[in-house]
Structure 1
């Protein structure tokens, strides 16, 4: 029984650590990172995401620092009204995720 409780506590701590590892960045911090060259220019990141969905419109953006990486997340509504979740590595511009929103 003690072993089961210990395993449960370890799992809960691991889950909590994962949650604590992601942090949303505010506009001021994002601009500083861009100006320092740490992340790509936001217009370049937006253009990369929109190439995946031509004639789409960006409805939301968010910059996060997670597990040592800067992630730029966008919600795009394509020309047919379908919503897409797109995630880019903000440092390289590489597409990490491009999936239809549920």
Structure 2
């Protein structure tokens, strides 16, 4: 079982303000760069094994749903897969 916990908005903002995680605009832009023209439908910040993971759901112009996970500290895309 994965050790992950969802972070609330207040905690997420504190981490952003402290520079621990990238701005949410930058993280969203990194996700959209993988699927140009897509729109963000949902986001979530988790702490998983001591690492902050930013999860993004995108919908591309063709209506396809994509699930991405980014390292919230570096904006590196860790996972990118189509959601059925």
TM-score (norm 1): 0.80
Number of residue-to-residue matches in the alignment: 84
Matched, 1:54 2:36: yes
* Cα displacement string for residues 8-48 of structure 1 (whole angstroms, at most 9, x for unaligned residues): xxxxxxx3xx3xx2000000000000000000010000000
More helix as a share of residues: 1
Return the offset for 1:67.
Answer: 0.6
TM-score by length of 2: 0.97
State the alpha-carbon separation in 2 of the partners of residues 71 and 22 from structure 1: 9
Q: Out of 49, 66, 69, which is 2:51 matched to?
A: 69
The reply on whether 1:89 has 2:71 as its aligned counterpart is yes
Structure 1 vs Structure 2 CA RMSD: 0.7
The 2-side partners of 1:93 and 1:57 are apart by 17
Q: Distance in 2 between matches of 1:61 and 1:67?
A: 19
Could you list the runs of 5+ residues in structure 2 that have no partner in the other structure?
A: none
Which of the two has higher C-alpha Rg?
1
Q: Which has the higher contact order (CA 8 A, sep 6+)?
A: 2
Structure with the higher strand share, 1 or 2: 2
Q: Equivalent residue for 1:30?
A: 12
Q: Counterparts of 1:10-21 in structure 2 under 5 Å?
A: 15=1, 18=2, 21=3
